[in-house]
Structure 1
Amino acid sequence: MDLLALSDFTLVARHGGFGRAARASARPKATLSRRVGELEASLGIRLFERGARALKLTQEGRTLYERAGLLLNELEEATAAIASGGEKPRGRLRISAPLVFSQTAMGKIAAGFVQAYPDVRLEVTTEDRAVDLIEEGFDLVIRVDPPSDLSLVGRAFLRDRLVVVASPDLKRPTAGHPAPAVSRHASDTMVWRLATPEGPSELQARPVLTLSSLIMVRDAVRAGAGAGCLPISLVSTDLAAGRLVHWGDVADSAITLWALYPSRRLLSARVSAFLDYLKQAFPNGTPDELAAFMEG
């Protein structure tokens, strides 16, 4: 198989069209089109459905793109490692991370990582949606309790749990009376199932304020707007300082953060270095380590 034609195919697939791929690579559109056509002829299959305005991968094309992209990345990384005389991390590393983790810890992690590995150009995108690593060109993603995905491998590096907290000025309501609450989701009422030293209990809550960010929820809870359900790592310092009080742990609320990457035989030196850096930052992966990291 012609590796140059395969490379041109993955370039066109990644950019979603011959024109965009030609502009990104500064290569003639006609050359890319010819090479992809030759690859289709040699394989005896159609890789793209060519519409009047859009270019779409066929099922066979998508399978080839996913597998060939990984193999070509491995070849590129192996070549770069040989050229540099070893497995020194270098080049671009693209990471997608969830909003709260990015707001509280990712900036410090990123700064420390690029100082330790100055030849790596780190790019971090913050969003809570499940990005497609292959199609969107990410090397690694950080996800909270991700569903099983056979195309990805990785490791859990942090654990957390949810607690209900409130300002010391807010009195906990008696049974049968809902507590005013700050929530991320609009609702008339909700029930928090808590684990307390006295045993399991339920607490009814009535959202009086809806905010889309957990950071905003925490700040509003601090200001006395209502009780809130938040990760312990985000409020442990406030609890220790007396700015917030603990109403109970939410039952069965364990949270795990995972670092995931495409399954490869040859792991990128950049990804491997970042995974090692996470392990150094959070050796035990506990909520207390995350809280200390954010405050340090």
Structure 2
Amino acid sequence: MDLLALADFNLVARHGGFGRAARETGRPKATLSRRVADLESGLNLRLFERGARALKLTEEGRALYERTAVLLTELDETAAAIASGGDTPRGSLRVSAPLLFSQAAMGKLAARFALRHREIRLEVTSEDRAVDMVEEGYDLVIRVNPDPDARLVGRIFMRDRLVMVASPSLPRPAGKSPVPAVVRGAGAGGQTASWELTGPSGKKRIAVQPVLHLSSLFMVRDAVRAGVGAARLPLSLVTPDLVAGKLVHWGDVDGPEIALWALYPSRRLLSTRVSTFMDFLKEAFPTGSPGELASFID
């Protein structure tokens, strides 16, 4: 197989078209088109569906792209490392991270990583959706309690849990009267609900009535600080306020723990950039406790 033709096919697949790939790389569009046509002829496969306005990978084209994109990147990295006379990680590293973790810690983490590894161009995108790593060109993703995926491998680097907290000015629940609550996301008006908590005396349920719906957990925390109502929040997010006495702990929320995973595509050869970032996360969170993440929060 012609590696140059394969590399040009990957360029076109990654950028979503011959014209865009040509503009981004400075390569002649005609050359890219010819190389891809030669590859299709040599494999006796159609790799792209060519429409009037759109270019889409065929099923065979997608399979070829998924299996070769990483290998070509690793070949480039190996050649660059040999040419430079060492194994210093270099090149671009694209990371997708959830919104809360990004707001709490990623700015400081990214700065420290960039200062230590100046040959790596780090790019972090903050979003809560489950991105397609291969299709969207990510090297590593950070996910909260991800569903099992045979295409990805990785490890947990942080564990957290939900706690119910409130301002010291908010009276603790007495009897069956609902407690005003601040919740994340949209809800059905102010319908009464109940939250199950665990504590030294066992499990108990607290009736709550949502009075405020907010889209960000940082916004929820700030509203709770102001005394509007109680809320369920990650322990890492509220630890500084609990220590300072700005919030009080009403109990642990009954339910599964919050696990943050660092994941990358399953393959035999692991990029040195990804392994370097994984080691960096382990160094930043050696025990993976909520208190270590809390230390990043202002």
AA aligned opposite 2:22: A
The residue number in structure 1 matching 2:210 is: 207
Whole-angstrom distance in 2 between the partners of 1:250 and 1:274 = 32
Matched, 1:225 2:228: yes
The residue number in structure 2 matching 1:181 is: 181
Among the aligned pairs, what percent are the same residue? 67
The residue number in structure 2 matching 1:273 is: 276
Alpha carbon RMSD of aligned pairs, Å? 1.3
Post-superposition CA distance 1:80-133 (Å, at most 9, x none): 121122221112211111111111111111111111112222111111111121
SS at match of 1:284: coil
Matched, 1:51 2:51: yes
The residue number in structure 2 matching 1:285 is: 288
Post-superposition CA distance 1:137-196 (Å, at most 9, x none): 211111111111111111110000000100111112223222111111223333211111
Query: Unaligned 5+ residue runs, structure 1?
Result: none
Deviation at 1:274, TM superposition (A): 1.1
Whole-angstrom distance in 2 between the partners of 1:201 and 1:163 = 13
The residue number in structure 1 matching 2:64 is: 64
Whole-angstrom distance in 1 between the partners of 2:245 and 2:112 = 31
Post-superposition CA distance 1:212-231 (Å, at most 9, x none): 00000000000011101100
Deviation at 1:264, TM superposition (A): 2.7
SS at match of 2:222: helix
The residue number in structure 2 matching 1:3 is: 3
Matched, 1:248 2:251: yes
Whole-angstrom distance in 1 between the partners of 2:295 and 2:108 = 12
Whole-angstrom distance in 2 between the partners of 1:120 and 1:25 = 20
SS at match of 1:68: helix
The residue number in structure 2 matching 1:84 is: 84
Deviation at 1:260, TM superposition (A): 0.9
Whole-angstrom distance in 2 between the partners of 1:277 and 1:143 = 17
**For residues 237 and 52 of structure 1, do their structure 2 counterparts lie closer, same or farther at Cα, with a shift above 3 Å needed?**
same
SS at match of 1:253: coil
SS at match of 2:165: strand
Which TM-score applies when normalising by structure 1?
Answer: 0.96
Post-superposition CA distance 1:9-42 (Å, at most 9, x none): 1111111111111111111212111111111111
Deviating beyond 6 angstroms after TM superposition, the runs of 4 or more aligned structure 1 residues are none
SS at match of 1:294: coil
The residue number in structure 2 matching 1:237 is: 240
CA contact (8 A) 2:165 2:248 kept: yes
Deviation at 1:283, TM superposition (A): 0.5
AA aligned opposite 1:165: V
Query: Unaligned 5+ residue runs, structure 2?
Result: none
The residue number in structure 2 matching 1:166 is: 166
The residue number in structure 1 matching 2:74 is: 74
Whole-angstrom distance in 1 between the partners of 2:250 and 2:3 = 61
Whole-angstrom distance in 1 between the partners of 2:287 and 2:15 = 40
Which TM-score applies when normalising by structure 2?
Answer: 0.95
Whole-angstrom distance in 1 between the partners of 2:244 and 2:232 = 18
AA aligned opposite 1:180: P
**For residues 3 and 213 of structure 1, do their structure 2 counterparts lie closer, same or farther at Cα, with a shift above 3 Å needed?**
same
Deviation at 1:259, TM superposition (A): 0.8
Per mean C-alpha deviation after superposition, the further-off stretch among 48-57 and 169-178 is: 169-178
The residue number in structure 1 matching 2:194 is: 191
**Number of residue pairs aligned between Structure 1 and Structure 2:** 295
Whole-angstrom distance in 2 between the partners of 1:114 and 1:108 = 10
CA contact (8 A) 2:194 2:208 kept: yes
SS at match of 2:295: helix
The residue number in structure 2 matching 1:122 is: 122
SS at match of 1:56: strand
Per mean C-alpha deviation after superposition, the further-off stretch among 264-273 and 279-288 is: 264-273
